[in-house]
Amino acid sequence: LSDKLDKALHVLKGHGSITEVNVAETLKEVRRALLDADVNFKIAKDFTNTVKEKALGQNVLTTLQPGQLMVKLVKDELTQLMGGETAGMNLSGNPSVILMSGLQGSGKTTFSGKLANYLKTKKTKKPLLVACDVYRPAAINQLHVVGDQVGVEVYSEEGNMNPVEIAQNAIAHAKKNGHNVVIVDTAGRLAVDEEMMTEIANVHKAINPQETLFVVDAMTGQDAVNTAKAFNDRLNFEGVILTKLDGDTRGGAAISIKSVVDKPIKFIGTGEKMDAIDVFHPSRMADRILGMGDVVSLVERAQEQFDEEEARKLQKKIAKNQFGFDDFLKQIQQVKKMGSMKDLVGMIPGAGKALKNVDIDDDAFKGIEAIIHSMTPAERSTPGIINGSRKKRIAKGSGTEVQQVNQLLKQFDQMSKMMKMMQGGGGRKMMQAMNK
Ligand code: GDP
Ligand code: MG
Q: Residue 428: exposed, middle, or buried by beta-carbon count in 10 A (0-12, 13-18, 19+)?
A: exposed
Q: Which runs of consecutive H residues, i.e. helices, occur in 247-358?
A: 253-261, 282-293, 295-303, 308-319, 325-338, 341-344, 351-354
Instruction: Supply the CATH classification number for the domain 96-280.
Output: 3.40.50.300
Q: Kindly indicate the confidence band of residue 21, based on its pLDDT and cuts at 50, 70 and 90.
A: low
User: Which of 110, 117, 213, 243 for a ligand 1 pocket mutation test, highest count of atoms within 8 Å of Cβ?
Assistant: 110
Q: What are phi and psi of 113, to 5 degrees?
A: -65, -45
ipTM above 0.95, yes or no: yes
Amino acid sitting at position 267: F
The pLDDT tens digits for 221-272 are 778 889 999 999 999 999 999 999 886 676 788 888 888 899 999 999 999 9
What is the C-alpha separation between 208 and 202, in angstroms, rounded? 10
- Per-residue pLDDT band at 130 (split at 50, 70, 90): very high
Q: Evaluate whether 33 touches 295 at the Cβ level (below 8 Å).
A: yes
> Which atom of ligand 1 lies nearest, measured to the CA of 104?
2
For the segment(s) 2-7+15-84+294-304, the CATH number from 1.10.3720.10, 1.20.120.140, 2.40.340.10, 3.40.50.300 is: 1.20.120.140
Ligand found nearest the CA of 105: 1
76 contacts: CB under 8 Å, gap ≥ 6: none
Write out the H or E segment, with its range, that includes residue 148: helix 137-150
The domain segmentation of the chain, as residue ranges, is: 2-7+15-84+294-304, 96-280, 307-435
List the one residue out of 186, 250, 248 whose CA is nearest residue 212: 186
What ligand is nearest to the CA atom of residue 140?
Answer: 2
Distance from the alpha carbon of residue 187 to the mean position of ligand 2, in angstroms: 6
At 175-188, the pLDDT tens digits run 999 999 999 999 99
**φ, ψ for residue 239, nearest 5 deg:** -165, 170
Q: What number of CA atoms fall less than 13 Å from residue 45's CA on the CB side?
A: 3
Task: Give the tens place of pLDDT for each residue, 297-351.
Answer: 444 444 444 455 666 777 777 777 777 888 888 777 765 555 444 444 444 444 4
Label residues 340-358 b or e (16+ Cβ within 10 Å = b).
ebeebbbbbbbbbbbbeeb
pLDDT one-digit tens code per residue, 45-59: 998 898 888 877 776
Q: Is domain 307-435 in CATH 1.10.260.30, yes or no?
A: yes
For ligand 2, the distance from its centroid to the CA atom of residue 106, given in whole angstroms, is: 8
The total of other beta-carbon atoms located within 10 Å of residue 149's CB is 14
Domains 2-7+15-84+294-304 and 307-435 share a fold: no
CA distance 117 to 240: 18
Mind giving me the DSSP string for 196-252?
HHHHHHHHHHHH--SEEEEEEEGGGTHHHHHHHHHHHHHH--SEEEEE--STT---T
Atom of ligand 1 nearest to the CA of 268: 23
